[in-house]
Structure 1
Amino acid sequence: MVKGVIFDMDGVLVDSEPFWQVAEMEVFPQYGVPITLEDTLKTQGLRIDHVVQFWFSRHPWRGATPKEVEQQILDAMVAVIRARGEPMAGVHATLESLHQAGLPMALATSSPHILMETTLEKLEIGHYFQATCSAEHLPLGKPHPQVYLNAADALGLAATDCLAIEDSFNGLLAAKAARMHTLAVPDADHRSDPRYVIADRQYLSLEEFSLEHWL
């Protein structure tokens, strides 16, 4: 029986994955990285410093440190979320149903605190969460499970009593490593990926969410 629910943020609560793609394709080519839209999918769900290091290791650049490139991408992300951030389908109904059922909720994201705060403010959903956890300052981000373990601990629950809702395979690996129940809501580009079979359930969107599946 699930006693608490932990949400990923990007691609689950907010349709921000296209924003990451736009920001990366805007910034990386300035430093000679020949990134394509398809290339951005290789790092989906990873922490931004890991994304930058991924590309720096393959196409080293001069003129800016990786940390400075990270900040450029984050600045672009904050601006676009404030301007265009929208909740994913079914988000408000799902959050409200869990709230009415009395289930505590947490956020476990690879995104930095500034993006987490910007998103919660833009979507006006911060009041639903008893805990918000970012992997920003952890030694490792997803697919390492630490951010999920921290979120469960913040709710005062055993990880095995929590449901994690993820869109990316890296995030799903993190939740499975934490031994949580898992719901995958992959985007259209990943729905046919056979690796998602490791999730307990897979939905097309949170509009399919039903508490009866988990209680």
Structure 2
Amino acid sequence: MIEAVIFDMDGVIVDSEPLWLQAKKEAGARFGFTVTEEDGAQTVGLRIDEISQRWVRTKGLDPACADALTEAMIGQVIAQVRQLDDPMAGVRDTLGWLARSPLKVGLASSSPLRLIDAVLERFGLADHFQVRVSAEHLPLGKPHPQVYLEAAAALGVLPQHCLAIEDSVNGVIAAKAAQMTALCVPEPALYRDQRFGIADFRLPSLADFDCPQLRRLLGL
């Protein structure tokens, strides 16, 4: 039986993937390399410092610039988030619906905690989450399951009794590796991507969250 719902953040709560792509491209230009659309797609759901390390290896960068590259991307996305008006469609209604249920609610993200806090503060959502866990200082980010395992432990719920909400393939892999039930809400262009077949449920948007299948799953 599901006892907790754990949200990813980027692409689930906030439409930050376009912001990350822009930040990646501008950081690349600043540090003298090109970030393609494919580069952006391949790094969705990964921890930002791991993206920087990947580009140090694949773009021929000086390893000494990795930290500065990471900070440049994070700083730009935080600045852009503070200009947004609303979270993604269905987020407020879903969190309100969960607040009226006995389920625990957490957040598990590859993004650094300061970005998580900026997003929740911007949209006034912090009170909806009993725990928020960042993979920032964990040995590995998604698709490794540790951030989800940490969130479940902080909520006091077994991973097998958690529903994870994800938008990326890397995130779904992490959730399933943690033995959680996975709901994916991919971006429209990827909705029928066969790689999301490992998820237990798939929705076009969180606006569709209150549906019979999920009500049965959640015992509500």
TM-score calculated relative to the size of structure 2: 0.94
Which residue is equivalent to 1:101? 101
For residue 11 of structure 1, report the CA deviation from its aligned partner.
Answer: 0.3
Alignment of 1:104-123 (within 5 A): 104-123=104-123
Which residue is equivalent to 2:171? 171
**What letter corresponds to residue 79 of structure 1 in structure 2?**
A
CA distance in structure 1 between the aligned counterparts of 2:188 and 2:42, rounded to whole angstroms: 15
For residue 32 of structure 1, report the CA deviation from its aligned partner.
Answer: 2.4
Which residue is equivalent to 2:26? 26
- Quick check: 1:212 aligned with 2:211? no
Give secondary structure in 2 for the equivalent of 1:189. Answer: helix
For residue 65 of structure 1, report the CA deviation from its aligned partner.
Answer: 1.4
TM-score calculated relative to the size of structure 1: 0.96
Distance 1:117 1:70, change over 3 A: same
For residue 212 of structure 1, report the CA deviation from its aligned partner.
Answer: 1.1
Cα offsets for 1:140-160 (capped at 9, x unmatched) = 000000000010011100000
Does the 8 A contact of 1:106 with 1:132 survive in 2?
yes
Does the 8 A contact of 1:106 with 1:129 survive in 2?
yes
Give secondary structure in 2 for the equivalent of 1:83. Answer: coil
Which residue is equivalent to 2:127? 127
- Quick check: 1:56 aligned with 2:56? yes
In structure 1, the gaps of 5 or more residues are none
CA distance in structure 1 between the aligned counterparts of 2:141 and 2:170, rounded to whole angstroms: 10
Cα offsets for 1:153-185 (capped at 9, x unmatched) = 111000000000000000100000000011000
For residue 38 of structure 1, report the CA deviation from its aligned partner.
Answer: 3.4
Distance 1:185 1:63, change over 3 A: closer
Give secondary structure in 2 for the equivalent of 1:165. Answer: strand
Does the 8 A contact of 2:56 with 2:62 survive in 1?
no
**What letter corresponds to residue 104 of structure 2 in structure 1?**
P
For residue 64 of structure 1, report the CA deviation from its aligned partner.
Answer: 5.6
Does the 8 A contact of 2:55 with 2:61 survive in 1?
no
In structure 2, the gaps of 5 or more residues are none
Alignment of 1:154-169 (within 5 A): 154-169=154-169
Alignment of 1:36-115 (within 5 A): 36-62=36-62, 65-84=65-84, 86-115=86-115
Give secondary structure in 2 for the equivalent of 1:65. Answer: helix
Cα offsets for 1:114-144 (capped at 9, x unmatched) = 1000000001100011100000000000000
Aligned positions, number: 215
Give secondary structure in 2 for the equivalent of 1:84. Answer: coil
